[in-house]
A and B are shown apart, each in its own frame.
Chain A
Amino acid sequence: MTTSSLYKLTGVSKSFRQSGKEVHALRGVELTVNTGEHIAVQGPTGGGKSTLLQILGALDVPTSGEVELNGNPVSKMSRSELTKLRGSLIGFIFQNYNLIPTMTAQENVEVALAATGVNATERRARAIETLTKVGLADRLQHLPAELSGGQQQRVAIARALVKNPAVLLADEPTGNLDEQTRDEIMDLLEAQAAENEITLIVVTHDSAVAKRAGRRLNIKDGVVREVN
Chain B
Amino acid sequence: MFFTYLRRELLNRRRQTVIVSIGLAIGIALVTTVSAISGGVKDSQAQVLDSLYGIGTDISITQRAAPGDGPPRFDIGSGDGQQVGGVQTISRTRLRTERGASTFDDATIEKISSTQGVAAVATALKLTNTTFEGELPTFMQRRQGNDGGQFGQGGDSQQIPGATTRSTVVTVAPSTTIEQPTGGADGRGGSAFSITEFSVLGITSDQVEVGPMASVALKSGRMLAMEDVGKYNAVLDETYAITESLTLKSSITVAGKKFLVAGLVGPSAGAAETAANVYIPIDLARTLAGVDAGVTNVYVKASGGDSVSDVSSSLATLLPEATISTSADLAKTVSGSLSTASDLLSSFGKWLSIIVVIVAFALAMLFTMSGVTRRTREFGTLKALGWKSNRIVRQVMAESVVQGVLGGIIGAVIAFGAVAAVNTFAPTLQAATGGGLGGGGFGGGLGGRGRGANNPLAAQIRGSSTFDVVLHAAITPSILALAVGLAVVGGVLAGAAGGMRAARLQPAESLRSVA
A and B: interacting chains = yes
Residues of A near any B CB (own CB < 8 A): 50, 53-54, 57, 59-60, 80, 83-84, 86-88, 92, 94-96, 98, 100-103, 107, 110-112, 114-116, 120, 123, 143, 159, 171-172
Are the CB atoms of B387 and A115 closer together than 8 Å? yes
Are the CB atoms of B5 and A103 closer together than 8 Å? yes
In the bound complex, what is the Cα–Cα distance between A111 and B386 (angstroms)? 10
In the bound complex, what is the Cα–Cα distance between A115 and B378 (angstroms)? 15
0/1 interface trace, chain B 1-26, chain A, CB 8 Å (1 if under): 10011001101110000000000000
Least CB separation from A123: chain B residue: B1
**Chain B residues whose CB sits within 8 angstroms of the CB of A111 once the complex forms:** 1, 5, 382, 385, 387
**Chain A residues whose CB sits within 8 angstroms of the CB of B382 once the complex forms:** 100, 111
Residues of B near any A CB (own CB < 8 A): 1, 4-5, 8-9, 11-13, 377-378, 381-388, 391, 506-508, 510-511, 513, 515
In the bound complex, what is the Cα–Cα distance between A123 and B1 (angstroms)? 10
In the bound complex, what is the Cα–Cα distance between A94 and B388 (angstroms)? 20
**Chain B residues whose CB sits within 8 angstroms of the CB of A107 once the complex forms:** 1, 4-5, 8
**Chain B residues whose CB sits within 8 angstroms of the CB of A59 once the complex forms:** 383-384, 506-508, 510-511
**Chain B residues whose CB sits within 8 angstroms of the CB of A143 once the complex forms:** 12
Most A CB atoms within 10 A — which of B4, B13, B377, B384? B384
Are the CB atoms of A159 and B385 closer together than 8 Å? yes
Q: A53-B511, A92-B510, A94-B510 are in contact. List 20 more A-B contacts (CB 8 A).
A: A54-B508, A59-B510, A60-B507, A83-B386, A84-B386, A87-B385, A92-B381, A98-B378, A98-B510, A100-B378, A100-B381, A100-B382, A102-B9, A103-B5, A110-B4, A111-B382, A114-B1, A115-B385, A116-B386, A123-B1
Are the CB atoms of A96 and B387 closer together than 8 Å? no
**Chain B residues whose CB sits within 8 angstroms of the CB of A110 once the complex forms:** 1, 4
Partner of B513, one of A80, A95, A112, A116: A95
Q: A102-B12, A171-B511 are in contact. Are A86 and B4 (CB under 8 A)?
A: no
**Chain A residues whose CB sits within 8 angstroms of the CB of B5 once the complex forms:** 100, 102-103, 107, 111
Are the CB atoms of B385 and A92 closer together than 8 Å? yes
In the bound complex, what is the Cα–Cα distance between A41 and B133 (angstroms)? 118
In the bound complex, what is the Cα–Cα distance between A120 and B507 (angstroms)? 25
Are the CB atoms of A115 and B391 closer together than 8 Å? yes
B178 smallest CB distance to A (angstroms): 91
**Chain A residues whose CB sits within 8 angstroms of the CB of B387 once the complex forms:** 83, 87, 111, 114-115
In the bound complex, what is the Cα–Cα distance between A206 and B42 (angstroms)? 77
Least CB separation from B512: chain A residue: A50
Are the CB atoms of A101 and B510 closer together than 8 Å? no
Least CB separation from B383: chain A residue: A83
**Chain B residues whose CB sits within 8 angstroms of the CB of A100 once the complex forms:** 5, 8, 378, 381-382
In the bound complex, what is the Cα–Cα distance between A150 and B297 (angstroms)? 91
Are the CB atoms of A87 and B386 closer together than 8 Å? yes
Least CB separation from B384: chain A residue: A92
A125 smallest CB distance to B (angstroms): 15
Q: A50-B511, A103-B8, A171-B511 are in contact. Are A57 and B1 (CB under 8 A)?
A: no
In the bound complex, what is the Cα–Cα distance between A183 and B513 (angstroms)? 22
